Structure 1
Amino acid sequence: MAQTTQTFLVDDLDGSEATQTLTFAFQGATYEIDLNDEHAASLEESFAEWIGAARRTGRGSSSGSSSSSSSGSSRASSAPKRTDLDAVRAWARDNGHTVSDRGRVSNKVLEAYDAAH
């Protein structure tokens, strides 16, 4: 027996038919909302000023490792910058950790590196 499953998006604001799902993050939490084209344009327009003044930190998803600072002029982060990963890998190998030449460096290794520096 064949089955067909249909998914209908419903606009989370007014219950009309939604045309898209938008994902955004705020204060370390990631949200999804189903919206029709008019509401999606309104949301994007609302965010435009803030996004224009903000710094992009990644692919747009929040992985739980965000940091914030009360002074808008500097951001403190416990993780090394992406440009420092070669140094992290070299330190990790010298200190008995197993790391790959490419890709993600585990949080365990990053935390050990931070603790040593």
Structure 2
Amino acid sequence: MAKKIRQIVDVTDDMTGEDVPEGKADSITLTLDGMTIDLDLHVDGANELRELLAPYFAAGSATLRRAAAGAPTMTATVVRGARRPSATRGTPRVRVSADDPHSPDARRKWLRAQGHEVNDRGRLAEALNEEYNKAHGLA
């Protein structure tokens, strides 16, 4: 006999306190002044929030923060109009600026010049990032 396990997650709208019907929930992550919050909202409320913030996103520039502690902030641009799967709807896609002097490609070029063997793709080792940051006054 086959068994099927189904996980049920009840979502409560963080703004209204009401239960959100299955398939009608949306999560939004916002960062302001260094504070990041996650909001679970009904899709209608999430879309209202996106419409409210749209002029600010259109006027500003997005920033992609690197996960490594002490690593620099990289400037990024939002790719507008790109179709996204519904699971990521509302999360802007970002592309690292080619002008960023501390981009992963720039780091790889510098590290190779210092005699390190570095892959063309993938995450750089933390020790190599630390060496780059120290040499460039970013540590």
Which stretches of structure 1, 4 residues or longer, exceed 4 Å deviation after superposition?
A: 64-67
Give the distance between the partners of 1:106 and 1:87, measured in 2 at CA.
Answer: 15
2:61 aligned to which of 49, 55, 63: 55
Matching residue's letter, 1:38: D
Residue segments in structure 2 that go unaligned for 5+ positions in a row: 74-99
Distance 1:91 1:2, change over 3 A: closer
Give the distance between the partners of 1:103 and 1:31, measured in 2 at CA.
Answer: 28
Q: How many residues in Structure 1 have an aligned counterpart in Structure 2? A: 102
Residue segments in structure 1 that go unaligned for 5+ positions in a row: 68-78
Output the TM-score relative to the length of structure 1: 0.61
Output the TM-score relative to the length of structure 2: 0.54
Distance 1:5 1:115, change over 3 A: closer
CA RMSD after TM alignment: 3.1
Give the distance between the partners of 2:121 and 2:108, measured in 1 at CA.
Answer: 9
Q: Is residue 2:11 matched to residue 1:9? A: yes
| Identical residues among aligned pairs (%) | 30
Matching residue's letter, 2:102: K
The CA deviation at 1:4 is 3.0
**Conservation of the 8 A alpha-carbon contact between 1:16 and 1:36:** no
Q: Is residue 2:53 matched to residue 1:32? A: no
The aligned residue for residue 70 of structure 1 is: none
The aligned residue for residue 72 of structure 1 is: none
